[in-house]
Amino acid sequence: MVYSYVVGGIMASLFGLVVLYNSRKKRTNRGALMGRMRDECPKTSGNGGCSQEITECSDVIIVGAGVAGSALAYALGKDGRRVHVIERDLSEPDRIVGELLQPGGYLKLVDLGLEDCVKGIDAQKVFGYALYKDGKHTQLSYPLEHFHPDVAGRGFHYGRFIQSLRAKAASISSVRLEQGTVTSLIEQDGTIKGVQYKNKAGEVLTAYAPFTIVCDGCFSNLRQSLCNPKVAVPSSFVGLVLENSPLPYTNHGHVILADPSPVLFYPISSYEIRCLVDVPGQKVPSISSGEMAHYLKTAVAPQIPPELYSAFISAINKGNIKTMPNRSMPASPLPTPGALLLGDAFNMRHPLTGGGMTVALSDVVVLRDLFRPLQDLNDAAAVCKYLEAFYTLRKPVASTINTLAGALYKVFCASPDQARKEMRQACFDYLSLGGVFSNGPVSLLSGLNPRPLILVLHFFAVAVYGVGRLQLPFPSPKRMWLGVRLISGASAIIFPIIKAEGVRQVFFPATVPAYYRAPPMI
């Protein structure tokens, strides 16, 4: 009997020792793991320190929930990716730009399954433009004959559209939207590992993911490490809202070739018209002192179509005048393992043609398609090399709209130079011819026919048309010299823009090795 108790005691002691050993081993392993995480904590591109708290890992972190960020979050989430979106302010934004979506952009919404986002926000269909110059006007309709009746441009309040996109992204269970300000990218051995940010409560957090996409807008403070930014500010927009005033051409945008630069009108709701007055240079008249109101009434109002004059003056008197600098920045990426730029943080063009959202949505479609065959994002170097194809595949749409925006703005601005005046008049008369002369340029502007070569051909066709007009009824040395200056001026406008876009990628993409790059076998 005593023997059995002794044996039982020995067995119980051995069992207790085993349990104690295993528990200590697990505690030791856990401590070592946490210590290793602290030791290996990647340094941030900002202060180089580690934050106090670490959030759970995702497949992709998206910085910014604007048009590009929200649309991409929805697309990647729909494909099964775990997406963490960090947006500085999730309340409805109030902006005077980003309110006109071209038909090509609407088609990208359809491709992404986001066409419902323009419903329920009082968005207005836009079927083309009306162009005004010196009391004359012409109608330029989008070539939509071969498309579904829903395909058209859309005018809307930017904030309503953004909130609709965000709601759509948040409806995907694998997408998490969080309000927070990203302060820095976390870098380790040249690879981006995640981001450091402050959440709504002011806590400093760190989020890790195999891939980070930065699309925090035109004022991005993160782009410097991911691209070579060359931002230009050629002008500013002064924004007004005209109420209860019908446009001369219903459901059309209106472009007035005013002096010194264009004025735009387009519908943003069933009773509101957005007016954007372009003011060249980086300095605008003061709003608070009344200088702006005086400028609009004396310098701009006399050039407004009579049908809109009263509503324009009324909008000025209401005093809700806003300004926005117009930025342009060619895409100049620095391919970085673990991260990529998108949207206005990556590429901007003058908003005259309303092509920004179309470029952003087109980029989202390209990136979504490139991500689909990737099973694992953890080999950052291999994924980075593969995604270099993005910079070439995006070129047809992006370069066509970027080049057209930059060229048209320079042509549409008034100039004391006689050759530039002739180019401006030639452009108006060329588009007024109708048929292929208007359908071709408008299809380029709308994003329906993104072909850079066709754009260059039409641009120089306008110049040649202008030279021909100058020689009538009979050529003279003076007229011929003016024609030479016109061609030279046209070249000086478009060639620098094309050079900034990248001649090889724009016109000869098939010669770029990344164009054929296959996804890494991970």
CA-wise closest residue to 388 among 403, 366, 408: 366
State pLDDT tens for residues 302-336.
999 999 999 999 999 999 999 999 999 999 999 99
pLDDT of res. 52 = 53
pTM (predicted TM-score): 0.89
pLDDT in tens, the chain (522 residues): 434 443 444 454 544 444 444 444 433 443 333 333 334 445 555 444 444 566 667 999 999 999 999 999 999 999 999 999 999 999 999 999 999 999 999 999 999 999 999 999 999 999 999 999 999 999 999 999 999 999 999 999 999 999 999 999 999 999 999 999 999 999 999 999 999 999 999 999 999 999 999 999 999 999 999 999 999 999 999 999 999 999 999 999 999 999 999 999 999 999 999 999 999 998 999 999 999 999 999 999 999 999 999 999 999 999 999 999 999 999 999 999 999 999 999 999 999 999 999 999 999 999 999 999 999 999 999 999 999 999 999 999 999 999 999 999 999 999 999 999 999 999 999 999 999 999 999 999 999 999 999 999 999 999 999 999 999 888 999 999 999 999 999 999 999 999 999 999 899 888 888 887 888 875
CA-wise closest residue to 326 among 236, 461, 400: 236
Q: Could you tell me how far CA 16 lies from the centroid of its own chain?
A: 64
**Alpha-helical runs (H) found in 296-433:** 306-318, 356-371, 380-387, 390-393, 395-412, 418-432
Question: 224 is written with which tokens?
Answer: 């410097």
Rounded Cα gap, residues 512 and 489, in angstroms = 31
306 burial type by CB count under 10 A (0-12 exposed, 13-18 middle, 19+ buried): exposed
pLDDT of res. 54 = 67
CA-wise closest residue to 169 among 98, 304, 72: 72
Q: Over pLDDT 90: what percentage of the chain?
A: 85
Is residue 200 within 8 Å of residue 49, measured between CB atoms? no
Bridge partners (DSSP) of residue 201 are: none
Backbone angles phi, psi at 2, to 5 degrees: -65, -35
Backbone angles phi, psi at 363, to 5 degrees: -60, -40
Fold of the domain built from segment(s) 58-120+156-229+328-371: FAD/NAD(P)-binding domain (3.50.50)
AA identity, residue 194: G
pLDDT of res. 53 = 64
Rounded Cα gap, residues 175 and 93, in angstroms = 21
Q: Which residues contact 310 (CB under 8 A, 6 or more apart)?
A: 245
CA-wise closest residue to 153 among 98, 100, 95: 100
CA-wise closest residue to 227 among 331, 327, 328, 326: 331
**CB neighbourhood size of 478 (10 A):** 9
Q: Calculate the dihedral angle through the C-alpha atoms of 144, 109, 357, 147, rounding to the nearest 10 degrees.
A: -10
CA-wise closest residue to 401 among 363, 461, 459, 353: 353
Question: 157 is written with which tokens?
Answer: 């309040």
pLDDT of res. 215 = 97
CA-wise closest residue to 314 among 405, 252, 243, 388: 243
Is residue 463 within 8 Å of residue 506, measured between CB atoms? no
